[in-house]
Structure 1
């Protein structure tokens, strides 16, 4: 589902496959675990082939919790379809979305 790596002292979570209620909840819990010791995480959507509204809801919940805990969450490397989903729902104005991983880590 996902792979977590450290790059230049920052955490990058590489998502793979489908993001749905189950995988989204697992992702949210894993990133909240990262936030116990780190102040930043980037989610790379490069390997995501599909995301439904339940998966999106878990990512929104993750953003809410990260803001409450004063942590920074960035999203990057989205396919056009997923980027369009964020734009259509207005979430592109709420999340920090970057075209590349290097921009997200910048």
Structure 2
């Protein structure tokens, strides 16, 4: 479902497949656990083929928790469909979204 690599002081989470209620919940738990020892995470959507509203809700909940913990969360490498979902819902104004992983690691 996802791989994690440390790069430039941030944890990059490479998501694969679908993001739905179950996989989104697992992702949220994994990233929140990472925040115990890291201050920043980047979610790479490069391998995501589909995300539904339940998956989106888990990503939103993850951002809320990250903000409470004063941790940094960035998103990158979204397909045009997923990027459109964020834009349509106005979430592109709430999340830090980057075109490339390199920009997210900045």
One fold, TM greater than 0.5?
yes
User: Could you say which TM-score interval applies, normalised by the shorter chain?
Assistant: over 0.9
Q: Which whole-Å CA distance do the structure 2 matches of 1:105 and 1:29 have between them?
A: 22
- For structure 2, list consecutive stretches of 5 or more residues without a partner in the other structure: none
Task: Tell whether 2:83 aligns with 1:80.
Answer: no
Which shifted more, 44-53 or 2-11?
2-11
Tell me which residue corresponds to 2:37: 37
Query: Structure 1 CA distance, aligned partners of 2:6 and 2:88?
Result: 32
1:11 matched to 2:11? The reply is yes
Which 4+ stretches in 1 moved above 6 angstroms?
A: none
**How far apart, CA to CA, are the structure 1 residues paired with 2:84 and 2:40?**
25
SS of residue in 2 equivalent to 1:12: strand
User: Would you say how many aligned residue pairs link Structure 1 and Structure 2?
Assistant: 106
Shift of 1:8: 2.2
Of 78-87 and 4-13, deviating more is 4-13
Aligned equivalents of 2:20 and 2:8: distance in 1? 30
Partner residue, 1:100: 100
What residue is the counterpart of 2:27 in the other structure?
27
In the alignment, the residues of structure 1 paired with residue 93 and residue 76 of structure 2 have an alpha-carbon distance, to the nearest angstrom, of 14
Gaps of 5+ in 1: none
